[in-house]
Amino acid sequence: MNREFRRKSAAAMDVFAAGGAKPKSVLRDAVNNDVEIVSNADNCLVFTEPLSPYGLTWGEMVPWRAGRQQAAPNDRRTVHALYARLAASLDSEPERLLFPTYCARYGASGRR
């Protein structure tokens, strides 16, 4: 099943963690930041909540993903499932080296 995401507002739509075929998006209206993912939306995560001044952090991703999966954000299985989903999207050796370091530093403590 291919989901389509469309964000029509000045707010950001952050597309990340694409696994498999990369999503294709089009800018429908540059003035209003109307962005649409037209293919492979089911292969990526789409964060449409307002970002904090720190950007998209691990501390924001876990409860967001838990809500989308109808899971408890403080359940270790939720955290491990998100980690596995993000790890599966890594596309290069530098990404695979950086990711565990990032999670070790910011994931456990909830720091930004």
Q: Could you read off the pLDDT of 93-108 as tens digits, one per residue? A: 999 999 998 888 876 5
The predicted model scores a pTM of 0.70
Q: Which residues pair with 36 in a beta bridge?
A: 6, 26
Residue in this structure with the two tokens 């089911």, named with its chain if needed:
42
Residue 97 has what pLDDT?
Answer: 92
Sequence-ordered strand ranges (E) for the chain: 5-7, 14-16, 24-29, 34-39, 45-47
Mean pLDDT of the chain, nearest integer: 79
Percent of the chain with pLDDT over 90: 7
pLDDT of res. 49: 83
Phi, psi of 68 (to 5 degrees): -75, -25
Give pLDDT, residue 10.
41
Count how many residues are written for the chain: 112
> Which has the closest alpha carbon to 60: 70, 49, 69?
49
